[in-house]
Amino acid sequence: MKITWNTDIYCLIGHPISKTLSPIIHNSFYKLINANNIYLTFDVEKRDLETIINSFKILNIKGFNVTLPHKISIIKYLDDISEEAKIIGAINTVKNKNGKLIGHNTDGIGFLKSLELEGIDIKDRNILILGSGGAANAISVSVSMAGAKKIFISNRTLAKAEKLTKRIKKQFPEIAIEYGDLELKNVPKNEIDMVINCTSVGMYPKIHEAPIEFQGFSKNLIVYDLIYKPRKTKLIKMAQRRGYRTVGGLSMLINQALCSQNIWIENKNYNFANNFEKIRRILDTYVE
């Protein structure tokens, strides 16, 4: 691309960020829509966060994504946050709106968009969520808002699963929700419609591990693994051998990025699904 004096700058901040695919996704999108924008990455440590945020205002950075470890700590440096970000309690997208930095969260929206593109409806479904960290938080909120019938949160550390369960139950009292460990002794496996892996088990260097086994689940199970590298985790391979429908994390990664773009450039005219497919094909050369 040709960078000029009026090229708009967007970026990602986090630590570390060396393995991120975000620049490929966002810059590919700008090329697809012929926008004079560029997306960069900045490795920002906790001690420098406030300074960086203030400099973004001065430099008129139009928008930026936020990844670990800043998704929660950045909130106190923003001028306002959106309703979905308040519910989730974390930020992954910030828009510079006339000098005011507004925080959003597109993780949950991106997840639901990926289900929509896959033709998967989770209304009145029983959902098993593995993990209780930031991703599990966003996913739990999203499936609750989408009308899930019952949610089971299972985590290696029981206290963390309990904490997330209490939070979701407080926000969505109409949703039936239980918690337990990864042995799944409290989970009626044959009644589960979807398993969503929000843990890091299956990601490098744990690529030969899976968080659970699939004995006892129904034959119509859907398995969604948020990990996108490797594309086919051990969990996904195990599920496919049993004939289950599977969705990998690359779908959510692309969709949450496109949802960020929707917030930044407010362009409702581009074809969301079409751009998703084009970017997915581009990423095929980067993710095995």
Catalytic positions are 71
Helices (H) and strands (E) in the chain, counts: 9, 12
- Give the DSSP letter of residue 78: S
End-to-end CA distance of the chain: 27
Is residue 254 within 8 A of residue 22, CB to CB? The reply is no
Give the dihedral sign, CA 116/103/59/65: negative
C-alpha 169/C-alpha 282 separation (Å) is 40
CA atoms within 13 A on the CB side of 100: 8
Any bridge partners for residue 246, and if so which?
Answer: 223
